[in-house]
Structure 1
Amino acid sequence: MLTKAYDATAAVLAEVTDWSAPSPCAGWTVRDVANHLVDAMCTFAAAVDGGQGEYRGEDLPGAYREAADRCLAVFEDPAVLAASHPFPPGPTPGSVIARISLSESLVHGWDVARGAGVAYRPAPEVVDAVREFTAGPPPEEGMFAPPVVPSSDDPMTVLLAHLGRKA
Protein backbone atom coordinates (compact mmCIF):
# COMPACT_ATOMS: atom_id res chain seq x y z
CA MET A 1 0.00 0.00 0.00
CA LEU A 2 2.90 2.37 0.63
CA THR A 3 3.88 2.13 -3.03
CA LYS A 4 0.34 2.99 -4.14
CA ALA A 5 0.10 5.93 -1.75
CA TYR A 6 3.53 7.28 -2.64
CA ASP A 7 2.92 6.90 -6.38
CA ALA A 8 -0.41 8.77 -6.23
CA THR A 9 1.18 11.66 -4.35
CA ALA A 10 4.24 11.69 -6.62
CA ALA A 11 1.89 12.02 -9.60
CA VAL A 12 0.26 15.06 -7.97
CA LEU A 13 3.60 16.72 -7.22
CA ALA A 14 4.73 16.18 -10.82
CA GLU A 15 1.70 18.14 -12.06
CA VAL A 16 2.01 21.20 -9.81
CA THR A 17 2.68 24.40 -11.75
CA ASP A 18 1.92 27.02 -9.08
CA TRP A 19 3.85 26.22 -5.92
CA SER A 20 2.82 29.55 -4.35
CA ALA A 21 -0.92 28.75 -4.48
CA PRO A 22 -2.64 28.61 -1.10
CA SER A 23 -3.24 25.13 0.27
CA PRO A 24 -6.15 23.98 2.45
CA CYS A 25 -3.73 24.21 5.40
CA ALA A 26 -4.24 27.70 6.82
CA GLY A 27 -1.32 29.98 6.09
CA TRP A 28 0.55 27.39 4.02
CA THR A 29 1.23 27.41 0.31
CA VAL A 30 1.38 24.30 -1.83
CA ARG A 31 5.18 24.54 -1.56
CA ASP A 32 4.98 24.70 2.25
CA VAL A 33 2.86 21.53 2.39
CA ALA A 34 5.11 19.73 -0.09
CA ASN A 35 8.22 20.71 1.89
CA HIS A 36 6.56 19.52 5.09
CA LEU A 37 5.66 16.21 3.44
CA VAL A 38 9.19 15.64 2.11
CA ASP A 39 10.65 16.50 5.52
CA ALA A 40 8.20 14.11 7.20
CA MET A 41 9.07 11.29 4.80
CA CYS A 42 12.78 11.86 5.49
CA THR A 43 12.05 11.81 9.23
CA PHE A 44 10.18 8.49 8.96
CA ALA A 45 13.08 6.88 7.12
CA ALA A 46 15.67 8.46 9.44
CA ALA A 47 13.91 6.97 12.47
CA VAL A 48 14.84 3.57 11.04
CA ASP A 49 18.04 4.08 9.06
CA GLY A 50 19.61 6.92 11.07
CA GLY A 51 20.17 9.10 7.99
CA GLN A 52 19.21 12.68 7.18
CA GLY A 53 15.82 13.73 8.54
CA GLU A 54 15.19 16.94 6.63
CA TYR A 55 15.26 18.21 3.06
CA ARG A 56 15.28 21.71 1.61
CA GLY A 57 15.52 22.40 -2.07
CA GLU A 58 13.71 23.37 -5.22
CA ASP A 59 13.00 19.98 -6.85
CA LEU A 60 10.12 18.91 -4.65
CA PRO A 61 8.82 16.16 -6.96
CA GLY A 62 12.32 14.66 -7.15
CA ALA A 63 12.91 15.05 -3.41
CA TYR A 64 9.57 13.42 -2.63
CA ARG A 65 10.30 10.48 -4.92
CA GLU A 66 13.72 10.07 -3.30
CA ALA A 67 12.21 10.18 0.21
CA ALA A 68 9.41 7.80 -0.79
CA ASP A 69 11.90 5.33 -2.27
CA ARG A 70 13.94 5.55 0.92
CA CYS A 71 10.84 4.79 3.02
CA LEU A 72 9.95 1.86 0.78
CA ALA A 73 13.45 0.47 1.23
CA VAL A 74 13.44 0.73 5.02
CA PHE A 75 9.88 -0.50 5.54
CA GLU A 76 10.20 -3.56 3.30
CA ASP A 77 12.03 -5.46 6.04
CA PRO A 78 9.58 -7.25 8.41
CA ALA A 79 12.14 -6.97 11.21
CA VAL A 80 12.09 -3.16 10.85
CA LEU A 81 8.30 -3.17 11.10
CA ALA A 82 8.40 -5.29 14.26
CA ALA A 83 11.20 -3.38 16.01
CA SER A 84 10.89 -0.12 17.94
CA HIS A 85 12.69 2.96 16.66
CA PRO A 86 13.45 6.44 18.07
CA PHE A 87 10.50 8.59 17.10
CA PRO A 88 8.57 11.37 18.84
CA PRO A 89 7.13 11.00 21.44
CA GLY A 90 9.20 7.86 22.21
CA PRO A 91 10.23 4.46 20.87
CA THR A 92 7.70 3.48 18.20
CA PRO A 93 7.22 0.24 16.26
CA GLY A 94 8.24 0.47 12.62
CA SER A 95 4.77 -0.67 11.61
CA VAL A 96 3.27 2.41 13.27
CA ILE A 97 5.81 4.73 11.62
CA ALA A 98 4.97 3.14 8.26
CA ARG A 99 1.24 3.71 8.86
CA ILE A 100 1.89 7.34 9.79
CA SER A 101 3.88 7.67 6.56
CA LEU A 102 0.96 6.18 4.63
CA SER A 103 -1.43 8.65 6.26
CA GLU A 104 0.83 11.67 5.74
CA SER A 105 1.35 10.85 2.09
CA LEU A 106 -2.36 10.39 1.46
CA VAL A 107 -3.65 13.42 3.35
CA HIS A 108 -0.91 15.85 2.32
CA GLY A 109 -1.13 14.55 -1.24
CA TRP A 110 -4.75 15.69 -1.13
CA ASP A 111 -3.72 19.05 0.39
CA VAL A 112 -1.25 19.65 -2.44
CA ALA A 113 -3.69 18.52 -5.11
CA ARG A 114 -6.49 20.67 -3.73
CA GLY A 115 -4.30 23.77 -3.47
CA ALA A 116 -2.72 23.27 -6.89
CA GLY A 117 -6.00 22.39 -8.62
CA VAL A 118 -4.63 19.00 -9.66
CA ALA A 119 -6.60 15.74 -9.78
CA TYR A 120 -5.82 13.27 -7.02
CA ARG A 121 -6.50 9.56 -7.45
CA PRO A 122 -5.55 7.66 -4.32
CA ALA A 123 -6.14 3.91 -4.31
CA PRO A 124 -9.36 3.02 -2.44
CA GLU A 125 -7.54 0.45 -0.32
CA VAL A 126 -5.09 3.14 0.84
CA VAL A 127 -7.99 5.39 1.85
CA ASP A 128 -9.60 2.47 3.70
CA ALA A 129 -6.35 1.63 5.52
CA VAL A 130 -5.82 5.22 6.63
CA ARG A 131 -9.46 5.50 7.72
CA GLU A 132 -8.97 2.38 9.85
CA PHE A 133 -5.69 3.72 11.28
CA THR A 134 -7.25 7.09 12.19
CA ALA A 135 -10.61 5.69 13.37
CA GLY A 136 -11.89 6.39 16.82
CA PRO A 137 -11.93 9.65 18.69
CA PRO A 138 -10.42 12.58 16.80
CA PRO A 139 -6.69 13.16 17.42
CA GLU A 140 -5.63 15.44 20.25
CA GLU A 141 -6.38 19.09 19.67
CA GLY A 142 -3.51 20.81 17.93
CA MET A 143 -2.51 17.84 15.77
CA PHE A 144 -5.32 18.43 13.27
CA ALA A 145 -8.22 20.79 12.90
CA PRO A 146 -11.42 19.84 14.74
CA PRO A 147 -13.52 17.34 12.79
CA VAL A 148 -16.12 18.70 10.39
CA VAL A 149 -19.30 17.19 9.01
CA PRO A 150 -18.47 15.34 5.78
CA SER A 151 -20.08 16.74 2.64
CA SER A 152 -20.66 13.24 1.26
CA ASP A 153 -20.27 9.59 2.22
CA ASP A 154 -17.27 9.16 -0.11
CA PRO A 155 -14.57 7.40 1.99
CA MET A 156 -11.90 10.03 1.26
CA THR A 157 -14.30 12.86 2.12
CA VAL A 158 -15.25 11.12 5.38
CA LEU A 159 -11.57 10.64 6.26
CA LEU A 160 -10.73 14.27 5.48
CA ALA A 161 -13.69 15.48 7.56
CA HIS A 162 -12.51 13.36 10.51
CA LEU A 163 -9.14 15.10 10.22
CA GLY A 164 -10.74 18.57 10.03
CA ARG A 165 -10.54 19.14 6.29
CA LYS A 166 -13.41 20.20 4.07
CA ALA A 167 -13.36 18.33 0.79
Structure 2
Amino acid sequence: MTSEIADRYRRRADAFERKVVSVRPDQWPDPSPCARWTARDVVRHIVDMHGAMLAPLGRSLSPAPSVDDDPVAAFRAARADVEAILADPGLATRPCDTPSGRLPVERHVDQVVSEDLPLHGWDLARATSQDDTIDPEDVELAWASVRAVPDELMEKLRTPGAFGPDIEVFGPEVKLGEDASPQDRLLAFIGRDPHWRP
Protein backbone atom coordinates (compact mmCIF):
# COMPACT_ATOMS: atom_id res chain seq x y z
CA MET A 1 0.00 0.00 0.00
CA THR A 2 1.46 3.39 -0.96
CA SER A 3 0.72 6.66 0.75
CA GLU A 4 -0.64 9.81 -0.87
CA ILE A 5 2.66 11.52 -0.01
CA ALA A 6 4.70 8.78 -1.71
CA ASP A 7 2.46 8.88 -4.79
CA ARG A 8 2.75 12.66 -5.01
CA TYR A 9 6.53 12.51 -4.61
CA ARG A 10 6.81 9.85 -7.32
CA ARG A 11 4.71 11.84 -9.78
CA ARG A 12 6.78 14.97 -9.19
CA ALA A 13 10.09 13.09 -9.33
CA ASP A 14 9.05 11.46 -12.61
CA ALA A 15 8.31 14.90 -14.11
CA PHE A 16 11.62 16.33 -12.87
CA GLU A 17 13.56 13.31 -14.13
CA ARG A 18 12.06 13.70 -17.61
CA LYS A 19 13.42 17.24 -17.69
CA VAL A 20 16.88 16.16 -16.49
CA VAL A 21 17.02 13.43 -19.14
CA SER A 22 16.04 15.95 -21.84
CA VAL A 23 18.87 18.41 -21.15
CA ARG A 24 21.45 18.38 -23.95
CA PRO A 25 25.09 17.99 -22.82
CA ASP A 26 25.93 21.50 -24.06
CA GLN A 27 23.12 23.03 -21.96
CA TRP A 28 24.38 22.09 -18.51
CA PRO A 29 26.48 25.29 -18.06
CA ASP A 30 23.58 27.52 -19.20
CA PRO A 31 22.17 30.10 -16.75
CA SER A 32 18.92 29.38 -14.89
CA PRO A 33 16.26 31.71 -13.44
CA CYS A 34 17.97 31.20 -10.05
CA ALA A 35 20.65 33.88 -9.80
CA ARG A 36 24.17 32.41 -9.85
CA TRP A 37 22.89 28.89 -10.70
CA THR A 38 23.42 27.03 -13.95
CA ALA A 39 21.13 24.27 -15.18
CA ARG A 40 23.53 21.78 -13.56
CA ASP A 41 23.36 23.69 -10.26
CA VAL A 42 19.56 23.34 -10.20
CA VAL A 43 19.93 19.55 -10.31
CA ARG A 44 22.76 19.72 -7.76
CA HIS A 45 20.48 21.61 -5.36
CA ILE A 46 17.71 19.04 -5.75
CA VAL A 47 20.13 16.15 -5.17
CA ASP A 48 21.57 17.91 -2.11
CA MET A 49 18.06 18.46 -0.73
CA HIS A 50 17.37 14.74 -1.06
CA GLY A 51 20.43 14.20 1.12
CA ALA A 52 19.03 16.69 3.64
CA MET A 53 15.85 14.60 3.87
CA LEU A 54 17.91 11.57 4.90
CA ALA A 55 19.98 13.39 7.53
CA PRO A 56 17.36 13.29 10.34
CA LEU A 57 17.43 9.49 10.04
CA GLY A 58 21.22 9.43 10.37
CA ARG A 59 21.55 8.46 6.72
CA SER A 60 23.24 9.96 3.70
CA LEU A 61 22.88 9.51 -0.04
CA SER A 62 24.00 6.16 -1.45
CA PRO A 63 27.22 6.11 -3.49
CA ALA A 64 26.40 7.38 -6.98
CA PRO A 65 27.93 9.41 -9.81
CA SER A 66 28.23 13.12 -8.98
CA VAL A 67 26.02 15.75 -10.59
CA ASP A 68 29.17 16.98 -12.33
CA ASP A 69 29.79 13.57 -13.91
CA ASP A 70 26.24 12.37 -14.59
CA PRO A 71 23.27 14.52 -13.47
CA VAL A 72 20.72 11.90 -14.55
CA ALA A 73 22.34 9.07 -12.56
CA ALA A 74 22.86 11.37 -9.56
CA PHE A 75 19.19 12.32 -9.45
CA ARG A 76 17.97 8.76 -10.01
CA ALA A 77 20.09 7.50 -7.12
CA ALA A 78 18.94 10.29 -4.79
CA ARG A 79 15.26 9.75 -5.55
CA ALA A 80 15.69 5.99 -5.01
CA ASP A 81 17.04 6.70 -1.50
CA VAL A 82 14.03 8.90 -0.65
CA GLU A 83 11.53 6.50 -2.23
CA ALA A 84 12.96 3.65 -0.12
CA ILE A 85 12.21 5.66 3.03
CA LEU A 86 8.70 6.59 1.88
CA ALA A 87 8.03 2.91 1.12
CA ASP A 88 8.99 1.83 4.66
CA PRO A 89 6.16 2.76 7.10
CA GLY A 90 8.52 2.51 10.08
CA LEU A 91 10.89 5.08 8.59
CA ALA A 92 8.30 7.24 6.82
CA THR A 93 6.34 7.89 10.01
CA ARG A 94 9.33 8.35 12.31
CA PRO A 95 9.28 11.83 13.91
CA CYS A 96 12.25 14.06 13.10
CA ASP A 97 13.35 17.58 13.99
CA THR A 98 12.97 20.05 11.13
CA PRO A 99 13.01 23.86 10.75
CA SER A 100 9.18 23.61 10.85
CA GLY A 101 9.23 21.69 14.14
CA ARG A 102 8.93 17.98 14.85
CA LEU A 103 7.33 16.15 11.91
CA PRO A 104 7.10 12.62 10.53
CA VAL A 105 9.85 12.10 7.95
CA GLU A 106 7.31 11.68 5.14
CA ARG A 107 5.71 15.07 5.92
CA HIS A 108 9.14 16.70 5.94
CA VAL A 109 9.80 15.19 2.50
CA ASP A 110 6.37 16.34 1.29
CA GLN A 111 6.82 19.91 2.50
CA VAL A 112 10.40 20.39 1.34
CA VAL A 113 11.95 18.35 -1.46
CA SER A 114 8.68 17.11 -2.98
CA GLU A 115 7.31 20.64 -3.12
CA ASP A 116 10.65 21.85 -4.53
CA LEU A 117 10.55 19.48 -7.51
CA PRO A 118 7.88 21.27 -9.60
CA LEU A 119 9.36 24.71 -8.87
CA HIS A 120 12.92 23.75 -9.71
CA GLY A 121 11.57 21.72 -12.62
CA TRP A 122 10.36 25.06 -13.97
CA ASP A 123 13.84 26.53 -13.43
CA LEU A 124 15.48 23.65 -15.30
CA ALA A 125 12.91 23.69 -18.10
CA ARG A 126 13.19 27.44 -18.58
CA ALA A 127 17.02 27.26 -18.55
CA THR A 128 17.05 24.57 -21.23
CA SER A 129 14.08 25.63 -23.41
CA GLN A 130 11.79 22.75 -22.44
CA ASP A 131 8.05 22.81 -21.70
CA ASP A 132 7.94 24.65 -18.36
CA THR A 133 4.28 24.05 -17.54
CA ILE A 134 3.81 23.09 -13.88
CA ASP A 135 1.01 20.61 -13.13
CA PRO A 136 -1.99 22.80 -12.15
CA GLU A 137 -2.53 20.64 -9.05
CA ASP A 138 1.04 21.41 -7.93
CA VAL A 139 0.53 25.11 -8.62
CA GLU A 140 -2.59 25.08 -6.45
CA LEU A 141 -0.93 23.14 -3.62
CA ALA A 142 2.19 25.33 -3.66
CA TRP A 143 0.12 28.53 -3.75
CA ALA A 144 -1.89 27.42 -0.71
CA SER A 145 1.34 26.44 1.06
CA VAL A 146 3.23 29.71 0.48
CA ARG A 147 0.20 31.90 1.20
CA ALA A 148 -0.19 30.15 4.56
CA VAL A 149 3.32 31.17 5.66
CA PRO A 150 3.14 33.89 8.35
CA ASP A 151 4.53 37.28 7.29
CA GLU A 152 7.42 37.16 9.79
CA LEU A 153 8.57 33.76 8.54
CA MET A 154 8.14 34.84 4.91
CA GLU A 155 10.39 37.81 5.58
CA LYS A 156 13.02 35.43 6.94
CA LEU A 157 12.58 33.10 3.96
CA ARG A 158 13.28 36.07 1.68
CA THR A 159 16.43 37.09 3.62
CA PRO A 160 19.62 35.67 2.05
CA GLY A 161 21.66 33.72 4.60
CA ALA A 162 18.91 33.58 7.24
CA PHE A 163 19.05 29.75 7.23
CA GLY A 164 22.82 29.48 6.70
CA PRO A 165 25.58 30.77 4.44
CA ASP A 166 24.59 31.07 0.77
CA ILE A 167 21.06 29.79 1.45
CA GLU A 168 18.32 31.84 -0.15
CA VAL A 169 14.87 30.27 -0.01
CA PHE A 170 12.74 32.90 -1.76
CA GLY A 171 13.65 36.11 -3.54
CA PRO A 172 11.75 39.40 -3.39
CA GLU A 173 8.26 39.17 -4.88
CA VAL A 174 8.10 40.10 -8.58
CA LYS A 175 5.21 42.42 -9.45
CA LEU A 176 2.84 41.20 -12.19
CA GLY A 177 -0.36 42.44 -13.81
CA GLU A 178 -3.74 41.35 -12.48
CA ASP A 179 -4.27 39.10 -15.52
CA ALA A 180 -1.28 36.87 -14.61
CA SER A 181 -1.88 33.11 -14.69
CA PRO A 182 -1.89 31.09 -11.44
CA GLN A 183 1.50 29.60 -12.37
CA ASP A 184 3.02 33.02 -13.03
CA ARG A 185 1.54 34.40 -9.78
CA LEU A 186 3.12 31.56 -7.82
CA LEU A 187 6.50 32.00 -9.47
CA ALA A 188 6.45 35.76 -8.93
CA PHE A 189 5.47 35.37 -5.27
CA ILE A 190 8.50 33.17 -4.56
CA GLY A 191 10.81 35.59 -6.36
CA ARG A 192 11.01 34.18 -9.88
CA ASP A 193 10.48 36.35 -12.95
CA PRO A 194 7.97 34.32 -15.02
CA HIS A 195 9.19 36.16 -18.13
CA TRP A 196 12.86 35.24 -17.58
CA ARG A 197 14.61 33.77 -20.61
CA PRO A 198 18.20 32.53 -20.96
Give the TM-score of the pair, scaled to structure 2: 0.72
| CA-CA distance at 1:54 after TM superposition | 9.2
Q: Could you say which residue in structure 1 is the equivalent of 2:163?
A: none
Cα distance change on mapping 1:127 and 1:71 into 2, 3 Å: farther
Q: Which has the higher contact order (CA 8 A, sep 6+)?
A: 1
Aligned to 2:61: 52
Query: What is the CA-CA distance between 1:90 and the residue it aligns to?
Result: 6.7
What does 1:3-82 correspond to in 2, within 5 Å? Answer: 3-17=10-24, 18-48=27-57, 50-52=59-61, 56-57=66-67, 58-82=69-93
Where structure 2 has 5 or more consecutive residues not aligned to the other structure, the ranges are 1-7, 161-168
Q: Is the 8 A contact 2:32 2:127 kept in 1?
A: yes
Instruction: Provide the rounded CA distance (Å) in 1 between the counterparts of 2:20 and 2:91.
Output: 28
Counterparts in 2 of 1:54 and 1:39: CA distance versus 1, 3 Å: farther
**% identical equivalent positions:** 28
Match of residue 120, structure 1, among 132, 140, 157: 132
- Pick the structure with greater CA Rg: 2
| Cα distance between partner residues in 2 of 1:14 and 1:27 | 22
Q: Structure 1 stretch 145-154 or stretch 96-105: which is displaced more?
A: 145-154
Report SS of the residue matched to 1:85: strand
State the shift of 1:126 in Å.
2.1
TM-superposition CA deviations, 1:93-146 (whole Å, max 9, x none): 320332211122111111111111111343222222222222234352223111
Q: Is the 8 A contact 2:47 2:75 kept in 1?
A: yes
Cα distance in 1 for residues equivalent to 2:83 and 2:155:
26
Shift of 1:70: 2.1
Which amino acid is 2:84 matched to?
Answer: A
Q: Alpha carbons of 1:4 and 1:34: their partners in 2 closer, same or farther (altered >3 Å)? A: same
User: How many Å separate the matches in 2 of 1:46 and 1:96?
Assistant: 11
